[in-house]
Structure 1
Amino acid sequence: MTTERNSYRLFDAPVRSAEKERVTLSQEAIERQLEAGAFMMDREEAIAAGFINPQDEPDTVIVDVRQEEV
C-alpha cells in the first residue's frame, strides 16, 4: 500500500492497489492455519459479523490451492 498526500496537505491517506495479489497454498498449509485458529467465511458472513465494511474494499488476495500429487 502506498501513501499519497491529500489536497489540503493535512494527512497521508492509504491508497489501495486495484490489483489483487495471487498467493498459492497447499491443502496442508491451509489445514495447518485452520488448526492454529484461522477461520473462513464468505463476504456476506464477514459483513454481517462486522469484520468488513460493504462500502470499502479491504486489502485482499486471491488464493490458489495447489493440488498435491499422491
Structure 2
Amino acid sequence: MTRTMELAVHMDDLAVGVGIATPELSTTAFDPVLTLLAGLAARRHGQAAPLRAPARAERAPSAINAL
C-alpha cells in the first residue's frame, strides 16, 4: 500500500512538473490510496478536518495534508 501511495503522489508530482494533466488511476489503486491518505490526515489534524474538506469547504481548515 505504501508503494502504491508513493507512486500515485509522485505520478501527480511529475505530471505537474511537466505541465500535463495527472493520469487517472484505476479505482482498484486509487480507493485504497485515498483511504490511507485520509486516515493519515485524520491522525494529524483530527477527524473533523478531513471530513470538512470535501463536504464543507466553508468550514474546512486551510490545510489538511496527510504527509
Bin the TM-score by the shorter chain: under 0.3
User: When you count strand as a share of all residues, which structure comes out higher?
Assistant: 1
Higher RCO by CA contacts (8 Å cutoff, separation 6 or greater):
1
Scaled by the length of structure 1, the TM-score of the pair is: 0.24
Q: Which has the larger radius of gyration?
A: 1
